[in-house]
Chains A and B, each alone.
Chain A
């Protein structure tokens, strides 16, 4: 049997270091998620307004963030702002900024979609029953929108967690960077460590994201 370099994972403090790296990745993505969900809900509601100016501004924001690869955004915020504006942002802060910008844009579009997918006669029959505007939103529209939204936004959260694997490019020592360091350090003693260590990284991402997507599938079934 070929040497798969599995022993390296548990050598010294390697496993703990990998977990620490995963912790950094999760911390950044979760902070970004916690900021982007409320902001996204707010912007998504604003996007359903008929005002052409707010509509245009938000459309441009959304398209720019969508079209731009996340890596380019990371470079602009981390390197670009340092040179152009003299900001001294750490890698982690830059990552949180980029992931929040991205998450907010995607979330707002999901919210907008969920809100406009509620048929007009739901508003009308609620009003016809005498419910006020705010009661209509509280009891009729928002509960239906949230049911459509939750599976989609959970999917967004797993995408944000996965995409943190890019932030090693701006010098953040997250799980993938730790893995590279471990492989480099053991190049002489275990030249095949790459397989085992990256396998461990794969499993860690999997264990972080799988429960979340299970939850999404459960909710989707429950609410149809």
Chain B
């Protein structure tokens, strides 16, 4: 299980003079679940976008299995088939039914047979509890249902690596759970995933390893128990502290009653 699937080496990404990622290096083993956390604007989303070749990079390298990822490369389409990505915004295609949304890429990109793709799509939709929505349009679904369809749409391409970019950030709290449960299920099945999230207890439950990003660099990384319970760096401690609240009672007298 220790074979390296993805190797990121001193990755640098700039927008103009603004350096977003400054020499990021890490490896992902097959079957590993990496959770990336950090304050907003630290480059988490950009990191995922670079791995999916949505952004050209200015330095370093990203190697997936044998292939180098950088947008100008010729074999982009085959690379993207190996990497599935789910975005924060609901990015289903509004003019297609749920089933068509899931089937378009396997049929048009991988040229697979319609019957075979449809059977798999329905099975996957069933797994996330949405088989009865196969012929609905995205506008008829809740936010949580849309994100589950988006995950199914990625899975149907049989990607080796799944990227999740704050997939629950735009959801109402009661819908977050249903999406996270699907992701936990994927992790239990040995999927290789890189997850950007703000759900700290979820991160703790799903991660094999946590990367803490700040200011475009990896400040700290380690197993989740260590990172969340005993963060080594001062910046990580400060970041985790923002998720804690101290009890404040306006009227202590009332609370005692």
Residues of A within 8 A of B (CB): 119, 121-122, 124-132, 135, 139-140, 143-144, 147, 223-224
Contact = CB atoms under 8 A, between A and B. Distances in A.
B94 A129 contact: no
B113 interface: no
Interface string B46-82: 0000001010000000000000000000000110110
B130 interface: no
Contacts of B109: 129-132, 135
B152 to A, nearest CB: 12
B108 A125 contact: no
A147 B95 contact: yes
Nearest to A145: B95
Contact of A124 (B87, B94, B157): B87
Contacts of B154: 129
Contacts of A139: 104, 108
A129 B157 contact: yes
B188 to A, nearest CB: 24
Give the contact-size bracket for chain B.
Answer: 20 to 34
7 contacts: A121-B87, A121-B91, A125-B91, A128-B85, A129-B154, A130-B105, A130-B109
User: Max chain A CB contacts within 10 Å: which of B81, B94, B104, B157?
Assistant: B94
A80 B251 CA distance: 86
Contacts of A132: 77, 109
Contacts of A129: 80, 104-105, 109, 153-154, 157
From DSSP, what is the main secondary structure of chain A's interface residues?
Answer: helix
A127 B95 contact: no
A128 B154 CA distance: 9
Nearest to A144: B95
A128 B93 contact: no
Contact of B89 (A121, A135, A143): A121
Given A119-B89, A125-B91, A130-B80, 12 more contacts: A124-B54, A124-B91, A125-B85, A127-B54, A129-B105, A129-B157, A130-B77, A130-B157, A131-B105, A132-B77, A223-B95, A224-B139
Nearest to A129: B105
Nearest to A125: B91
Given A129-B105, A139-B104, A139-B108, A144 B94 contact: yes
The 3 closest A-B pairs by CB, nearest first: A125-B91, A129-B105, A130-B80
Contacts of A147: 95
Interface string B74-116: 0001101101110101010111000000001100111000000
